[in-house]
Amino acid sequence: MKVIFAGGGTGGHLMAGLSIAEEISSRFPDTSIVFFCTDLKKEAGYIENSGYEINQIRARKLTSFRHLPSFVFISTVGIVCSLFHIARIKPDVIVGLGGFGSVLPVVAAYMRRIPIVLIEQNSIPGRANLALARWVDIILCHWENTAERFKKAKSISVTGIPVRKDIVKHKTATAYKTFGFACQGKTLLIMGGSQGAQTINKVLLQCVLKIKKLIPELQIIHLTGKLGYNKVKTEYENMGVKAFVSEYFEDMGLVYGTTDLVICRSGANTISEITEVGIPAILIPYPYATDNHQYWNAYELAKNGGAYIVKQEELNPEKMVELVVHFLTDYEKLHKMGTLNKSLSKPFAASRVVDAIMRILREKRHVEDVISDGNTDKSENESYHTRLLS
């Protein structure tokens, strides 16, 4: 079997693809997997350590009609390149991961009559997926309400979006030692997603000493993103606060395994991870995300009671000190929030997504036999919800 994953624009799209690819590879070891992403330099970095083949396709958003000629030219080149690689690879299926980086390869796959599966990670569907919905074989999404927004789709399944298998780890003394922390401490995780968040970095640095004064056992993991690292690292050193500061940390399972409360953006991949692990959260949605989708991702957790939303325009040191101290000093509240977030997880998402892909292949006769991975638990293999349109 040969599978192409296509997506890009942000790291979250590609991370979901890696999680699905991981499940496919574990069940069908002989599968050939190729990633198509945009020509942005950072995108290849997300998957270069995976061992999968990478093809970068030029793609751009249409930000204004003034840029229409260049957009048409780049899109045409991108489709031609996608057609070339598809002809070379001869995939059985293409999985669109969302973002503008998915559009051109998916269009090329449609032209070649390759089966197409779309992945929608956000609560509010992305414009790329909405535009492509009528042309694909099935859309797989994470949230029930998302399915209702795809009016023109042929088929929709609420499977959940899988996260990497190493995300879920139990708290251990070894994990705490990795960061130089004490098991008895209260760990606050601060992060801004795959690209960092300078606003969050700036405001939280103004809070640290006040929080530390009220919670002496405070210890902090601060994932800054590339641009903020040097400044944030220096600030913590000057304050003398126990903190592990890094641009990015590969083993997020260890990070989550020591975390009592997280302050972060609400990208789809982050939301999936913190629900899978069951971590209480203060969510600060990125205000310039398309269609404000990060707010609505956060809302899914907040309405269930597992998270508190702070809009960026309301973000200030006084408010954050109050919230962090309130949550970290109320064990019962913190435990309840974590449990409520955990209740939103989709623990069999990886299996359901791969089952849906295989079902499409069987319907399109791209595989001859029903391939079983030996899983006999019906509850694992069924989707949470499926809608078929005639």
Fold match between 2-162+347-388 and 166-342?
yes
What is the b/e burial string over 139-172, where b = at least 16 CB atoms within 10 angstroms of the residue's CB?
A: bbbbbeebbebbeebbbbbbbbbbbbeebbbeee
Per-residue confidence in pLDDT tens, the chain, 390 aa: 999 999 876 666 788 898 899 999 999 999 999 999 887 766 666 677 778 898 888 887 777 778 788 889 888 999 999 999 999 999 999 999 988 889 999 999 999 999 999 999 999 998 889 989 999 999 999 998 888 888 888 899 999 988 888 888 767 777 888 898 988 899 999 998 655 588 999 999 999 999 999 999 999 999 998 778 889 999 999 998 889 999 888 889 999 999 999 999 999 989 999 999 999 999 999 998 888 999 999 999 999 999 999 999 999 999 999 999 999 999 999 999 999 999 999 888 999 999 999 999 998 765 544 444 444 444 455 665 665 543
CATH topology for 166-342 is Rossmann fold (3.40.50)
Render pLDDT for 157-209 as a digit per residue (tens, 0 to 9): 999 988 888 888 767 777 888 898 988 899 999 998 655 588 999 999 999 99
- Within 10 angstroms of residue 115's Cβ, the number of other Cβ atoms is 21
Dihedrals phi, psi of 95, to nearest 5 degrees:
-110, 110
Whether residue 136 contacts residue 325, with contact meaning beta carbons closer than 8 Å, is answered with no
Domain map (residue ranges) of the chain: 2-162+347-388, 166-342
Residues 6 or more apart from 119 whose CB is under 8 A from it? 7, 16, 17, 20, 95, 96, 97, 98, 139, 140, 141, 161, 353
**From the CB of residue 270, how many other CB atoms can be counted at a distance below 10 Å?**
25
Q: How far apart are CA 148 and CA 10, in angstroms?
A: 25
Give the distance, in angstroms, between the CA of residue 305 and the centroid of all CA atoms in the same chain. 21
The β-bridge relationship of strands 155-158 and 385-388 is antiparallel
Round to whole Å and give the CA distance between 34 and 222. 33
Give residue-wise pLDDT tens across range 293-341. Answer: 999 999 999 999 999 999 999 999 999 999 999 999 999 999 999 999 9
Any idea which fold 2-162+347-388 has?
Answer: Rossmann fold (3.40.50)
pTM of the model: 0.86
**Distance between CA atoms of 201 and 204, rounded to whole angstroms?**
5
Handedness of CA 297, 289, 223, 48 (dihedral sign): positive
